[in-house]
Structure formats: structure tokens, C-alpha cells
Amino acid sequence: MEMTRLEKWFVNRSKKVEHNIARVRQRLQELPSESIQDVLELGCGIGTVAAYLAANYQMNVCGTDYDAEQIQIARNMQPQNAHLHYRVEDAANLSFQDASFDLVVSQNVFHHIPEWKTATQEIARVLRADGYFIWLDLAFPKLICTLFQPLVKNQSLYCIADVRRVFQRHEFEELFNERLIHGPFVHHHLVWQKK
């Protein structure tokens, strides 16, 4: 789903970008980052996290976003190179071959994907065996999901139990879970490994 101007301003703020980089850096300290060569970032926005991973870890990173304008900004701000590429992609219908990546990163993206369960299936498809999936996003109480999901057309509402159930169905094993509360929303920061 393409975001509004206000949403783009919010997610592209320097404070938000710094926060996203810090979260990924924290998780990579706990993973065998030397075995991670190929990375897919879903919802890369203006590409700052993808560029950080390529520059600081020498990983081959493909930053993707559904919004072509975000990808163009990313290409202008962090030019592509041997380790860094950007593509317009639909997370629920990825064009990559099976088992293409060692790591998939998705931060605050899933609630923008109406077909988030299909996106999870696609992530499982493009991730190599023993690969990692870093996920940070909103989760809602079950009652909110039940009441409001029929009214929400271009976004998703899900509770953390739904997320866990779907990820486990696609053979992901949970390695890390941190519950973060920001105002009225509850964020969960999860790290999964594909079995």
C-alpha cells in the first residue's frame, strides 16, 4: 500500500531512521552476522537501513518498497552500488527466486500490507534454511482486531497470537521477543529463524 504524505514524513524522520538502525544493530549482535551475506529489507522507505547494512556489514542488501516514490528517493539519497540495490516490490508477491536471502528485515511494514499472511509465506519462500527474519511492528488486542478488521481495507490488524501462529505455520522458530509500548500502540520486536 502506498502511504500518504503524512505517513511518509513520519516514517522518514531522522529519529525514526536512527531508531530502526539501532534495533537492527542490536539484533545483529545476537546473530551470527558473519554468516549473513544476502539481505532483503521489506518496506525500506528511503533506504537508510538498507544502506547502513551494506556499508557497515558489507552485506548484499536489496531494499524494497511498494511505493515507487520511496524507492526513487532511496536511490537518490543512498546511491546503489555492488552491495546495495533498490526495487519496487509487493511483499505479498515477491519476484525473487526461492532461497535467495540469509536475512529478511521488516520494520513497521506488516500493518501496511493487507495480505500480511501471504507476505509471510513469501518471506518463508525467499529465505534460505536457517535464515533469519527480523520483524518489528504493531500488534493489537484480539477484541480490537475482531471489531475493526472488517472495516479496514488497505491495512491489517492482527494480534501477536495471530502473528506467531502464522509465522510458526511457515516453519519459523521464535528466537527473540521484546514487547515495546509506545503510546496507545504495542510494538513487538521478534527475531525468527527458518527451520
Domain boundaries, the chain: 5-194
For the domain made up of 5-194, give the CATH fold: Rossmann fold (3.40.50)
At 96 the pLDDT is: 98
Distance of CA 50 to the CA centre of its chain: 11
At 148 the pLDDT is: 74
Mean pLDDT of the chain: 91
The answer on pLDDT for 136 being more than 90 is: yes
pLDDT in tens, 63-93: 999 999 999 999 999 999 999 999 999 999 9
The answer on pLDDT for 156 being more than 70 is: yes
Q: Which residue has the cell 522518514?
A: 12
Least confident of 14-18, 107-111, 114-118: 14-18
What does each C-alpha distance from 7 to 2, 45, 128, 179 come to in angstroms?
9, 11, 32, 23
- Strands of the sheet containing 185-194, edge to edge, are 84-88, 60-65, 38-42, 101-107, 127-139, 185-194, 172-182
Q: What angle do CA 20, 110, 169 make, to 5 degrees?
A: 115
Read off the pLDDT band of 190 (50, 70, 90).
Answer: very high
- Higher-confidence residue of 105 and 138: namely 105
Task: Report which residue type is found at 42.
Answer: L
Global pTM reads 0.91
